[in-house]
Amino acid sequence: MLEIPGRKEICNKFREGGGRVAAVMPIHYPRELFRAFGVLPIEVWGPPGMDISHSAAHLQPYVCSMVHNMLAFLKTGGLDCADFIIVPHACDSLQGLGSLLVDFVRPPQPVFPLYMPRGRRPEDVEFFAQEFRKLYDWLSNLTGRRPSDEQLMESILMEERADKALAKLYDLRTEVSLSVRDFYRVVRTRQYFPAEEFVSFVERVIDEYSGNPPDGVPVIMSGIVPEPMEVLDEIQNLGGIVVGDDFACCGRRVYPAGSGEDPFIRMAWRIVHGPPDVTRGDLIEERFEHLMDKVKKTGAAGMIFYTVKFCEPELFDLPDMRRRLKEAGIPSVHVEVDINDPLSHQTITRIGAFLEVLI
C-alpha cells in the first residue's frame, strides 16, 4: 500500500512550522482564506469507527453517523490539536451540530458556523462572499492578522493549482496503476495536505504510477464518503474499478478556477460553480446531467450509490435519480452504511451482485 502521511502527522508538522490549524466539517469552505491567515484547514469526515455513546446525549439516534462521530471525536479529544472549528451549514444535521457546539458543548476552540447559499445565481455568489468577509474578520480578530488582497489572491491561485492537480489526477485514472483504494487515499489527501504539498504529491504519484490501472468493470460511485475504505478493495476484488465519483468528500469538490480581482467574489464563485451538489441547492436535473456526463467520459457501466444512513440530502433525490439513470440505460445499486460499522457481508453481497449484473 502507498505510504501517505496521516492527518495527525500533517497537523503536527504544520504546527511545528508555526502555523495554526482549523478543524473543518463537511462540505464546502474557502481553503484559500484560511491559508492566507497561516491556518491549515484539516477536514473532519467522521472519522469512522467512533464510540457514539459520547454524542448520544446531544443527538438523536436518527442523526447520521457522520455528525455523531464528529461530536464524539471532539468530546474524546480528537480535535485537541485544532485552534478553530468551522461548521458549514451543509445540511440540517450539520447546522444542528453547529448550534450545539456554540450553545451547549462550548469546546475550548472558537466555532464559526458558515452559512451556505442555495443556488448558482449572482446573488448566491454575493451571499457567500459576504459570509467569507465575516469569516475573514473572525479570523482576523483571533489571529491578529489582516492579509492583503494580494496575499489572498496568492493563496487563491495556489488552491486553484491544487484543484487543477486534482482534476488531472481524475482525468488520468485510467492511466495510473494505483489500486482503487490507493487512488482514493491520494484523492483524499486534498482534505488535509497543504495545497503546495498536494500538488507536488499528485505530480509524483502520476509519474511513479503511470501504467495500466487494475482491470475491472468500470463503475462510478456517489455518496458522501467512501468509508470504510475497505469497500474500495472489495469492489476491486469483486471485479470492479471505480473510474469516477461524485462523493461529497472527493469529486464533488473539484472546483473550477475563478477569475476577477475581488478575492472574496472569486473564492465564492469557485465553490458556487463547482460540480452540482444537493447540499448547495443544485437541482436533480443538474446532478443527473453531471452524472451522465461522467458516465460518458469514463465509459462507466453502472453507478453505485453509497450513502450514509440517515443522510437526508442524499437520500431525498435518490429514488428519482435512480429512476432517471435507469431510463437512460444506466443500472445502479444503492448501499447504505453507518460509518461506525465494519464493512458488512450484506454490503459486499449487494455490490458483488451488482457487478455480476454488469459483467
Partner 1 sequence: MGRISAIGIDVGSTTAKIVGVDEGGELVWKYIEPAHPRVEEQVDRFLRKLEEENGPIDGIPIVATGYGRNLVHQATRKVTEITCHALGVFRQLGHGGTLIDIGGQDSKVIVIGPSGEVVDFAMNDKCAAGTGRFLENTAGRLMVKLDEMGQLALSSEEEVPISSTCTVFAESEIISMIAHGVRVEPILKGLHRSLVKRVVAMVRSVGLVPPLMLSGGVVKNPAIRKMIEEETGQKVTMPEHPQFMGAYGAALIALRGKRRTNA
Site of interaction with ligand SF4 (CB under 6 A): 26, 64, 66-67, 90-91, 93-94, 224, 279, 308, 311-314
Q: How many CA atoms lie within 13 A of 340 on its CB side?
A: 15
CB of 171 to ligand SF4, least distance (A): 27
Q: Measure the CA–CA gap between 66 and 105, rounded to whole angstroms.
A: 17
**H helix intervals, 42-176:** 65-75, 92-100, 122-143, 149-171
**Residue 92 or 320 having the CB closest to ligand SF4:** 92
**Residue 300 or 311 having the CB closest to ligand SF4:** 311
The item of partner 1, ligand SF4, none sharing an interface with residue 66, based on CB under 5 to 8 Å by kind, is ligand SF4
The radius of gyration of the chain from alpha carbons, rounded to an integer in Å, stands at 20
CB of 346 to partner 1, least distance (A): 4
Do the beta carbons of residue 300 and residue 273 sit within 8 Å? no
**Residue 217 or 321 having the CB closest to ligand SF4:** 321
Instruction: Give me the 295-334 binding string for partner 1, x by CB under 8 A, dash otherwise.
Output: -------------------------------x----x---
Instruction: Give me the 94-123 binding string for partner 1, x by CB under 8 A, dash otherwise.
Output: ------------------------------
- Please calculate the CA angle 276-282-287 and round it to the nearest 5 degrees: 50
203 is a contact residue toward partner 1 (CB under 8 A):
no
State in Å, rounded, how far the first CA of the chain is from the last one: 27
Burial class, 101, CB count within 10 angstroms (exposed 0-12 / middle 13-18 / buried 19+): buried
Do the beta carbons of residue 73 and residue 7 sit within 8 Å? no
342 is a contact residue toward partner 1 (CB under 8 A):
no
Q: Which of 108, 211, 327, 345 binds partner 1 (CB under 8 A)?
A: 345
Using CB under 8 A, list all residues that contact partner 1.
326, 331, 344-346, 349-350, 352-353, 356-357
